């Protein structure tokens, strides 16, 4: 018997706020966090804008040891994990440590910190390099740091499946709890890519917007004028536990995770399959596992990267999966607010979807002023929708052709 699985805690550290309440308030303001980059000099690049977190101080959020021994990616993830546990009112000391696990996702992990240390090496030699470098750049540092901080000895892994990795981590955590392999999972994503070379690599392949003179409108998913994604940073961690356990302890239940689909285009490192075949299959797998018919979905929380090819392909895939219902189910994406934090984006957006399901307002796609007519989507109006969706489909797509889809249901049912 597969167990039902609930989201009971949300930890958010994003450019539009820290914690669910701050993030929700900023969504209601309909104001983007994208600005000209201040973290480094962006003038050598075609793109010079990003969404930075202005008020995150690791010394205030972590222990002195954690802040000293971790890079920014792990720091954001550690802070988000603690916020999630606080939000879930969960004391891990009451659980067997081997029945709790951590699954996280990040596209670049500690690569930005390595870039910073490489600069020190070039100018001052090996003696100037932080001796903790090796502990920050290995792929599993993110989930391992969270496990060490909380004494968690169960399932542990960090995947690196690009922009789908946060959603993939949540999907794997859902399956882990559903199969009875853990009682509680911390799952999500963290990303700290705002370093010159990390940022510049995406600018070099012309993947990012060059709307530098108007940063706040640069990320515009599904709009005819979109010209690329806008990079951001951030983290989100969700507390995921069996629905029965959550109810027995009187935990807040944001939503039930009911289905997960994961496929790969096996086509190109940066371009999606134009026919959307594997994205379609990921959505159908998630709906089938959730026993959810397309007409039951009341909001599609889109990947909506604001890139010309990806938005078109996602729209085409939605049209194929939802058929006649595609013109009726509201669709929107939230990257216009917080930009694209690569591996953390799917986790941030899943957390927002869970908030929408409890607070009863569906956000629009910020900056989608002139929707691309060829996509034939039912866009959420600019004022949003006063609606508490009972079923939500969440898409994430990444480099290498990774397609990840979650289906969330009303957890009170």
Q: Which residue has the tokens 């003696």?
A: 127
**301 annotated active-site:** no
What does each C-alpha distance from 372 to 50, 144, 243, 327 come to in angstroms? 24, 43, 40, 14
- Listing DSSP states for 1-21 in one string gives -PPPEEEEEEEEEETTEESHH
Residues 6+ apart with CB under 8 A from 363: 27, 30, 332, 334, 337, 352, 356, 380, 384
Q: Cβ(264)–Cβ(278) under 8 Å?
A: yes
SS3 215: helix
Measured distance CA(257)–CA(177) in Å, rounded: 11
Catalytic-labelled residue, pool 73, 163, 301, 368: 163
Residues 6+ apart with CB under 8 A from 396: 163, 164, 166, 167, 168, 303, 345, 346, 349, 403, 404, 405
Radius of gyration of the chain (CA): 20
Helix (H) or strand (E) holding 262: strand 255-264
Which residues are paired to 260 by β-bridges? 406
Helix H segments across 190-307? 196-204, 243-248, 277-289
**325 annotated active-site:** no
Residues 6+ apart with CB under 8 A from 398: 107, 161, 162, 163, 164, 165, 343, 404
Q: Cβ(283)–Cβ(321) under 8 Å?
A: yes
Catalytic-labelled residue, pool 285, 338, 340, 379: 340
Which residues are paired to 242 by β-bridges? 5
**338 annotated active-site:** no
Residue in 112, 108, 36 with CA at minimum distance from that of residue 339: 36
Catalytic-labelled residue, pool 73, 198, 285, 303: 303
DSSP 8-state symbol, 231: B
Positions marked active-site: 163, 303, 340
């Amino acid at each position: 018997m597969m167990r039902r699985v609930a989201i009971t805690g949300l930890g958010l550290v994003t450019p539009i706020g820290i914690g669910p309440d701050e993030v929700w308030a900023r969504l209601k303001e309909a104001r983007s966090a994208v600005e000209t980059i201040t973290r480094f000099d962006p003038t050598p690049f075609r793109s010079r804008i990003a969404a930075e977190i202005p008020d995150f101080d690791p010394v205030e959020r972590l222990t002195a040891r954690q802040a000293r021994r971790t890079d920014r990616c792990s720091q954001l993830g550690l802070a988000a994990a603690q916020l999630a546990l606080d939000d879930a009112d969960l004391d891990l000391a009451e659980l067997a440590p081997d029945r709790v696990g951590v699954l996280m996702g990040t596209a670049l992990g500690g690569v930005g910190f390595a870039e910073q240390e490489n600069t020190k090496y070039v100018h001052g030699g090996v003696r100037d390099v932080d001796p903790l470098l090796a502990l920050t750049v290995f792929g599993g540092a993110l989930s391992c740091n969270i496990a060490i901080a909380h004494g968690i000895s169960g399932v542990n892994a960090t995947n690196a499946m690009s922009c789908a990795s946060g959603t993939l981590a949540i999907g794997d955590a859902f399956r882990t709890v559903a199969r009875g392999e853990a009682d509680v999972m911390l799952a999500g994503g963290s990303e700290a890519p705002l370093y010159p070379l990390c940022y510049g690599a995406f600018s070099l392949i012309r993947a990012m917007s060059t709307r530098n003179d108007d940063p706040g409108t640069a990320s515009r998913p599904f709009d005819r004028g979109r010209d690329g994604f806008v990079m951001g940073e951030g983290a989100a961690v969700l507390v995921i536990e069996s629905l029965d356990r959550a109810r027995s302890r009187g935990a807040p239940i944001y939503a039930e995770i009911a289905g997960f689909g994961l496929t790969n285009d096996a086509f190109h490192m940066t371009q999606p399959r134009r026919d959307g075949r594997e994205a379609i299959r990921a959505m159908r797998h998630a709906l089938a596992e959730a026993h959810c018919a397309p007409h039951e979905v009341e909001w599609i929380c889109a990947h909506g990267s604001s890139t010309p090819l990806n938005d078109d392909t996602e729209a085409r895939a939605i049209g194929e999966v939802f058929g006649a219902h595609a013109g009726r189910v509201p669709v929107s994406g939230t990257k216009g607010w917080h930009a694209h934090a690569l591996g953390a984006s799917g986790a941030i957006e899943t957390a927002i979807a869970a908030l929408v399901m409890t607070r009863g307002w569906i956000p629009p796609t910020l900056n989608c002023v002139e929707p691309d007519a060829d996509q034939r989507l039912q866009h959420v109006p600019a004022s949003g929708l006063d609606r508490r969706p009972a079923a939500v489909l969440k898409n994430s797509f990444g480099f290498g052709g990774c397609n990840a889809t979650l289906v969330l249901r009303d957890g009170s049912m």
